[in-house]
Structure 1
Amino acid sequence: MAIKIEMLKCFALVARHGSLSEAAAALGRTPSAVSMMLKQFEDHVGAPLFETSRKSHLTPLGDLIFKEAQREVTHFENTIEMIEGLSRAQAGYLRLAVTPSVANAILPAIILTFARTYPDIQVDIRDMDSATIAQTLSHDQADIGIGSLPQMAGMDRTELFSDAFGVVCRKDHPLAENWDQLTWADMQNHTLIANGLCDQITDPDFAPLLARSRLMVPNSASLLGLVREGIGITVLPRLAVRHALHEFAFLPLLDVTARRSVYMIAQSPPSQLPAAAAFCGIVHDLIASDALSLPA
Structure 2
Amino acid sequence: MLDPRKLRLLRELARRGTIAAVAEAVMFTPSAVSQQLSALEREAGVPLLERTGRTVTLTPAGRLLVEHAQTVLEELERASAALAAVRGGPSGPVRIGAFPTAARALMPAALAELARACPELEPMVSEIDPADVSGALRAGELDVALVHEYDFVPAEADPALATEPLFAEPMYLTGRAALAEARDDPWITGKPGTLCHAMTIRACQAAGFEPRVRHQVDDFDTVLAFAAAGQGVALVPRLAALAPPPGVTLSELPLSRRTLAAFRGGYGGHPAIGAAVAAFRTAITHLPL
- Tell me the TM-score normalized by structure 2: 0.58
Task: Tell me if 1:75 matches 2:28.
Answer: yes
**Residue matched to 2:209:** 208
1:91 Cα deviation (Å)?
5.6
Q: Give the Cα–Cα distance (whole angstroms) in 2 for the partners of residues 93 and 257 of structure 1.
A: 40
**Residue matched to 2:187:** 192
Task: Tell me if 1:267 matches 2:264.
Answer: yes
The answer to whether the Cα contact below 8 Å between 1:100 and 1:220 also exists between their aligned partners in 2 is: no
**Residue matched to 1:291:** 285
Aligned pairs (5 A) from 1:153-168: 153-168=159-174
Q: Secondary structure at the match of 1:281?
A: helix
Aligned pairs (5 A) from 1:1-296: 74-75=27-28, 92-148=92-148, 150=155, 151-168=157-174, 175=175, 182-195=177-190, 196=194, 197-200=196-199, 202-203=202-203, 204-206=205-207, 208-210=209-211, 212-242=212-242, 244-245=243-244, 247=246, 249-253=248-252, 256-270=253-267, 273-284=270-281, 286=282, 291-293=285-287, 295=289
1:265 Cα deviation (Å)?
0.8
Cα pair distance change 1:146/1:294, threshold 3 Å: farther
Q: Secondary structure at the match of 1:257?
A: strand
Q: Give the Cα–Cα distance (whole angstroms) in 1 for the partners of residues 288 and 159 of structure 2.
A: 27
1:152 Cα deviation (Å)?
2.8
1:74 Cα deviation (Å)?
4.4
Cα pair distance change 1:294/1:225, threshold 3 Å: closer
RMSD of the TM alignment (CA)?
A: 3.5
Describe the superposition over 1:109-164 as per-residue Cα deviations: whole angstroms up to 9, x where unpaired: 21111111112222211223221223322322111111215243233211111122
**Residue matched to 2:87:** none
Describe the superposition over 1:237-280 as per-residue Cα deviations: whole angstroms up to 9, x where unpaired: 111222x2354635225xx4221111111234457543223212
Q: Secondary structure at the match of 1:123?
A: strand
Cα pair distance change 1:260/1:276, threshold 3 Å: same
Rg larger for: 1
Q: Secondary structure at the match of 1:215?
A: strand
Unpaired segments ≥5 residues, structure 1? 1-66, 80-85, 169-174
Q: Give the Cα–Cα distance (whole angstroms) in 2 for the partners of residues 238 and 266 of structure 1.
A: 25
Q: Partner amino acid for 1:235?
A: L
More strand by share: 2
Cα pair distance change 1:238/1:141, threshold 3 Å: same
Describe the superposition over 1:205-263 as per-residue Cα deviations: whole angstroms up to 9, x where unpaired: 446343x3143222334434433443222111111222x2354635225xx42211111
Number of matched residues?
Answer: 200
The answer to whether the Cα contact below 8 Å between 2:225 and 2:245 also exists between their aligned partners in 1 is: no
Q: Give the Cα–Cα distance (whole angstroms) in 2 for the partners of residues 132 and 275 of structure 1.
A: 22
The answer to whether the Cα contact below 8 Å between 1:92 and 1:121 also exists between their aligned partners in 2 is: yes
The answer to whether the Cα contact below 8 Å between 1:157 and 1:263 also exists between their aligned partners in 2 is: yes
- Tell me the TM-score normalized by structure 1: 0.56
Q: Using the aligned pairs only, state the percent identity.
A: 18
